[in-house]
Homo-oligomer: A and B are copies of this chain.
């Protein structure tokens, strides 16, 4: 089966969490966000899926994955599906729930990272909420990054396997998402991360291990990996990273 991924063109965004799983799985997929006919067609294809009045399960927001007759939205939900079908999650109930719990905690973290540059919501530009963003970003740097990073460091330490991964012996989908969050934070907050990272050696190791996996390394080196930019979740505004 060839999957179809629908997302906004030009940014990694939440689509990137899905792409990393598809790449690690070696899955066949068509990425409609990178449509050969350009961004306008990519957006039109996305709108076609979001507004298809024939589907009984309409998505509200992208990313959306078409998997045969299934149309799946919500990043963590898509990853749960792919994890189950590509051996990137445990098969037993306890393991599946724990893996998904970690993914949902990463999703909470991502919302907080996004809100650091958009505390008043997505309807206003960053330029229209700079003082508010400065206050919220300080909170993110000083309190929330240590909280989440400390939590995932604890999780890595509790794993009875010496894999260096979040769950058991082998890679699961939240490992890929945690790599992506760390990559995004290094881009957006290089100074804060340089200060913080020495306290979280497990996270640094996980980042290195994930990025060295053959399929992930090949993906990151390819032109399929879009660069980070100031339109996505992880934005580098130097004034937010003093």
Interface residue A88 (Cβ < 8 Å from any Cβ of B): no
Q: Are A77 and B56 in contact (CB under 8 A)?
A: no
Whether A120 contacts B132 by the Cβ 8 Å rule is yes
A55 within 8 A of partner (CB): yes
Q: Is the interface of A mostly helix, strand, loop or mixed?
A: helix
Q: Which of A37-93 contact B (CB under 8 A)?
A: 55-61, 69-70, 72-74, 76-77, 80-81, 93
Partner of A81 from the list B97, B105, B154 (CB cut-off 8 Å) is B97
CB <8 Å contact, A58 and B154: yes
Q: Name the distance in Å between A158's Cβ and chain B's nearest Cβ.
A: 5
Q: Can you tell how many copies of this chain the complex includes?
A: 2
Asked if A100 and B119 make an inter-chain contact with CB atoms under 8 angstroms apart, the answer reads no
Q: Which bucket holds chain A's interface residue count?
A: 35 or more
For window 100-150 of A, CB contacts with B under 8 Å fall at 100-101, 104-105, 108, 111-112, 115, 119-121, 123-124, 132, 135-136, 139-140, 143-144, 147-148
Interface centre among A119, A124, A147 (most CB of B within 10 A): A119
User: Chain A residues in contact with chain B, CB under 8 A?
Assistant: 55-61, 69-70, 72-74, 76-77, 80-81, 93-94, 97-98, 100-101, 104-105, 108, 111-112, 115, 119-121, 123-124, 132, 135-136, 139-140, 143-144, 147-148, 151, 154-155, 158-160
Taking the closest CB of chain B, its distance from the CB of A112, in whole angstroms, is: 8
- 3 closest A-B pairs (Cβ-Cβ)? A74-B104, A57-B98, A119-B119
Q: Enumerate 18 A-B pairs (CB-CB under 8 Å) in ascending A order.
A: A56-B160, A58-B158, A69-B94, A72-B97, A73-B101, A74-B100, A74-B105, A77-B101, A77-B104, A81-B93, A111-B111, A112-B121, A115-B115, A119-B120, A119-B136, A121-B139, A121-B140, A124-B135
